[in-house]
Amino acid sequence: MTKNKVGVEIPEEYVSKHGVYEGELANINTYEESSRTIKPVKPRDEKLLDSIHDAIVKTGLKDGMTISFHHHFREGDKVLNMVMEEIANMGIKDISIAPSSIANVHAPLIDHIKNGVVTNITSSGLRDKVGAAISSGIMENPVVIRSHGGRAAAVARGDIKVDVAFLGAPSSDAYGNANGTKGKAPCGSLGYAMVDAKYADQVVIITDSLMPYPNTPISIPQTDVDYVVVVDSIGDPKGIASGATRFTKNPKELLIAEYAAKVITNSPYFKQGFSFQTGTGGSSLAVTRFIREKMLEEGITASFALGGITNAMVELLEEGLVEKIIDVQDFDAPSGLSLGRNENHYEIDANMYASALSKGSVINQLDTAILSALEIDTDFNVNVMTGSDGVIRGASGGHSDTAFASKMSMVISPIIRGRIPTIVDKVNTVITPGSSVDVVVTEVGVAINPLRQDLIEHFKDLDVPQFTIEELKEKAYAIVGNPEPIQYGDKVVAVIEYRDGTVIDVVKNV
Amino acid sequence: MTKNKVGVEIPEEYVSKHGVYEGELANINTYEESSRTIKPVKPRDEKLLDSIHDAIVKTGLKDGMTISFHHHFREGDKVLNMVMEEIANMGIKDISIAPSSIANVHAPLIDHIKNGVVTNITSSGLRDKVGAAISSGIMENPVVIRSHGGRAAAVARGDIKVDVAFLGAPSSDAYGNANGTKGKAPCGSLGYAMVDAKYADQVVIITDSLMPYPNTPISIPQTDVDYVVVVDSIGDPKGIASGATRFTKNPKELLIAEYAAKVITNSPYFKQGFSFQTGTGGSSLAVTRFIREKMLEEGITASFALGGITNAMVELLEEGLVEKIIDVQDFDAPSGLSLGRNENHYEIDANMYASALSKGSVINQLDTAILSALEIDTDFNVNVMTGSDGVIRGASGGHSDTAFASKMSMVISPIIRGRIPTIVDKVNTVITPGSSVDVVVTEVGVAINPLRQDLIEHFKDLDVPQFTIEELKEKAYAIVGNPEPIQYGDKVVAVIEYRDGTVIDVVKNV
């Protein structure tokens, strides 16, 4: 066992394989970028194949290989299940899958794992059924959890080497020029898919909307694509892109949002040309609304807004309050639509969004980011992966990436949820190290990280109740009592990589 | 000596190094893509440097390294000379330069060669003074001439490994997001620069128009850029982008254009959704005008137009006769302007434009291409590199790329220029093998390559005089007499690579 910089004991097996977390910048080194094997496509060659079966045959996919998918279709995705079913039917085994995330809709994976079709998984997240199955210990090899930036970095450095990427695309021409803004089931940005397209040896575009050549705008270019398959449906549009996200009416969420907005608008970063990222939860969206009012009041505009994009951001763009949206992923239909028609709404890939190993990601230019939490501990460490029962149900996402890179990161959360404290002595799973978290915002007030004495000084007259993180924890425990310790088993079911590829935590079976 | 497939004897030295040309598809093989060394840029790092001098210091540029430039600024370029002057002043020697092309304005290179600062050159073209100096034998190592697609392929395969790319950009933000459509001296597409940005170990953006972050549209992303330098002027806008190109009034050029247009509009490819590339010469532009009339008459629109783009193409786009322009390079101000504002005018890089080693370039989808020639021989081989005196003065460009990849390639040329025949027994330098050329169009009529019996049959009733290529040559010789053979020296001053990287010809000193 080796204790890492957040005080977590890491078993030697993973220490030797990944290294341990030693601080945000301790393992950011010069490296040789991963390359791919290219099979040139000649002038009269065609890429269009009849079926996913044919694509699997053509790519030569076989036992032991690594394949990837993207999660832009969220709970509407049909691509992963279609491809995995065909792989299973063809008798191929021992496949490593590297989707950018895994949703509830991917529950059929559980059988593929049990049948030996899937033997390794890396993902940002694992939801309900699949998460619970993994936590119960159905896999021999632990899942490797990576942040969105960490996954892009792992692909760029070759830690993840994708043999075949199966990339669903809302529209594509027969030569593989694909985008997410046209077709029957648009998802908006293809930011996560774009990374796989650049680095995978072989890329299969799976679409339900074949367009005339050349299909533009081009998110994934023909030069990254080997084959194109047309299917009846890549996904359920309702699951892919919900309607416009609505603002919360929950008083607790509104209070958190009000406090968070006060922190931002009174911070040294709130000035003409500032930049921000907010999430998609109820409080996050409300923050956006409060910031908007203050921007109008002070005559300030933001240079850009970043991240997973929602309708709330698009409205600011259209109002002229945000000059540009930089978009790696869309969370609702209006934002996908905006990407397709507004030249100031700009698509980027996950590498440019958040990779610590790139020549500079957009989050490095970010003033402030609002992030969520399942748990926050008194060292400011944040868990967004495991529930209070220790079961995997969340996603690493861009949490550790933006928390570190932005100039002021804010984690917002109620101090309790139901009968469970959110502010705790020790989080079950560390996703983001406390040294990356600047301000915790709750409905009772805020706690500023003592590492940020500059902010403590700056905010000393802020019109929001201020506490130490210990005081917030005491308030939580006072309401719901001390949480019972979780009874874990001995098996490591997930290895949590920090964004630099080192191990920041492991999750054991429950 | 080894005789290659176009009958040219290649000295063993170059045979062992590059291989010899054995046919258009003989050496297109699966390969491992070149990778780059990435120095990650951390959150608070800055990329903006005070001077080109500082960029040279920061990149660690030293004797023996390879640097690159792009030629989008044409005769207006100041970047190459600025950087080379600084390198020379700093006493750095033995530099290999890999600009996408070299213009007249780069004559100071001659001194850098003589002083040992520059010892190797690869380029698409070499104009007047520099070409003459190279032809006179001032370099110890021969220049390697590559087509636009061949250069992209060489970069992708690592035949050209760029240590530092110095890329002029009409606009950039301080983090390196650059485009060619904004700023003081716009050039339009940055298609050639985009390739270098992706593969060079280090990239320095040199701009005279620093924009607020994030600068969009993004032709070169921050993730490909290490440093940014702001200078007073990257180039002379007049030299970078001339006004709209005018149509020829030369009767000979108009006749060639009329014949070429008849070939295209009567070909099997002229139907709804066809695609084409024309050049920028007087005849080429006139062809576009004649095709336009026929499109209107027959109610046909083109799916896309490709290549070096001029105002003539932009007018067709705006008129709705061409649905999309796919743009690797702009030749005049209106086309650069159009790229910046018309979403159906789409920028691509040189790899996607023309590389034989990509997963499929756009020229593979091209129906017909119109190409120029300095000489065409009776095997249909084409020379666009050396003059009738054997001196280097031209550019390989996209000639061999589009000639092979398009479904019907047409080479247009008068049969004589002044007292010099254009149709000859044997071209001085083979750039494009005759087997790639389908139709030669002159002012006296056309010659169809006997390899294209399908076209000979299809065009048998075409209302244009038809001859064999030998007959066209006889007509030329009948007017101006047999050309005198050139007295070459023994020194190889240029190695001509075919687009697959093999040697198709060499140029000796004169």
Structure confidence at residue A283 (pLDDT): 85
Reply yes or no on whether the pLDDT at A253 is more than 80.
yes
- Are A223 and B359 within 8 A, CB to CB? yes
Q: What are phi and psi of A403, to 5 degrees?
A: -55, -45
Q: Is the peptide bond before A334 cis (omega within 30 degrees of 0)?
A: no
Of A100-109, A269-278, B132-141, B243-252, the least confident: B243-252
In 3D, which of A501, A157, A40, A354 has the Cα closest to residue B36?
A157
Is residue A183 packed enough to be buried (19+ CB in 10 Å), middle (13-18) or exposed (0-12)? buried
Q: Is the peptide bond before B214 cis (omega within 30 degrees of 0)?
A: yes
Residue A408 in contact with residue A455, Cβ under 8 Å? yes
Reply yes or no on whether the pLDDT at A62 is more than 80.
yes
Reply yes or no on whether the pLDDT at A467 is more than 70.
yes
Domain ranges of chain B: 47-239, 251-488
Which residues of chain A make contact with B345, given a CB cutoff of 8 A? none
> Which strands, in side-by-side order, build the sheet including B368-371?
B345-347, B322-330, B302-309, B274-277, B368-371, B408-412, B439-441, B446-448
Mean pLDDT of chain B: 96
Reply yes or no on whether the pLDDT at B392 is more than 70.
yes
Structure confidence at residue A308 (pLDDT): 85
Q: Dump pLDDT digits (tens) for A141-172.
A: 999 999 999 999 999 999 999 999 999 999 99
Distance between CA B57 and CA B89 in Å, rounded? 13
Q: Percent of chain A scored above 90 by pLDDT? A: 94
Distance between CA A164 and CA A92 in Å, rounded? 14
User: Which residue is closest to A39 within chain B, CA to CA?
Assistant: B30
**Domain A47-239 matches domain A251-488 at the CATH topology level:** yes
- Are B365 and A25 within 8 A, CB to CB? no
- Are B33 and A32 within 8 A, CB to CB? no
Average pLDDT over every residue of B222-227: 98
pLDDT grade for A324, boundaries at 50, 70 and 90:
very high
Q: Dump pLDDT digits (tens) for B55-113.
A: 999 999 999 999 999 999 999 999 999 999 999 999 999 999 999 999 999 999 999 99
User: Which residue is closest to A358 within chain B, CA to CA?
Assistant: B40
Q: How many angstroms separate the first and last alpha carbons of chain A?
A: 21
Tokens of B113: 């060669």
Average pLDDT over every residue of B115-121: 98
Reply yes or no on whether the pLDDT at B244 is more than 90.
no
Mutate to test the interface with A, among B31, B349, B359, B438 (most CBs of A within 10 A): B359
pLDDT grade for A243, boundaries at 50, 70 and 90:
low
User: Which residue is closest to B362 within chain A, CA to CA?
Assistant: A222
Give the class (CATH, top level) of A47-239: alpha beta
Average pLDDT over every residue of B268-276: 98
Residue A240 in contact with residue A77, Cβ under 8 Å? yes
Which residues of chain A make contact with B28, given a CB cutoff of 8 A? 40, 42
Distance between CA B507 and CA B490 in Å, rounded? 10
Query: Would you say the ipTM is above 0.90?
Result: yes
Between chain A and chain B, the number of residue pairs with CB atoms below 8 A apart is 176
Which residues of chain B make contact with A29, given a CB cutoff of 8 A? 40
**A407/chain B closest Cα distance in angstroms:** 9
Reply yes or no on whether the pLDDT at A246 is more than 70.
no
SS3 of residue B435 by DSSP:
helix
Q: Dump pLDDT digits (tens) for A298-316.
A: 999 999 999 889 999 999 9
Angle between helices B282-298 and B311-318 (to 10 degrees): 10
CATH superfamily of B251-488: Glutaconate Coenzyme A-transferase (3.40.1080.10)
Average pLDDT over every residue of A204-232: 98
Q: Dump pLDDT digits (tens) for B333-351.
A: 899 999 999 999 999 999 9
The single-letter DSSP state of residue A431 is: S
User: Which residue is closest to A401 within chain B, CA to CA?
Assistant: B43
pLDDT grade for B242, boundaries at 50, 70 and 90:
low
Ranges of H-type helices in B1-78: 12-18, 52-59
Distance between CA B241 and CA B74 in Å, rounded? 8
Q: Dump pLDDT digits (tens) for B448-503.
A: 999 999 999 999 999 999 999 999 999 999 999 999 999 999 999 999 999 999 99
Distance between CA A81 and CA A96 in Å, rounded? 15
Structure confidence at residue A377 (pLDDT): 98
* Partner residue opposite B28 with nearest CB, options A40, A226, A348: A40
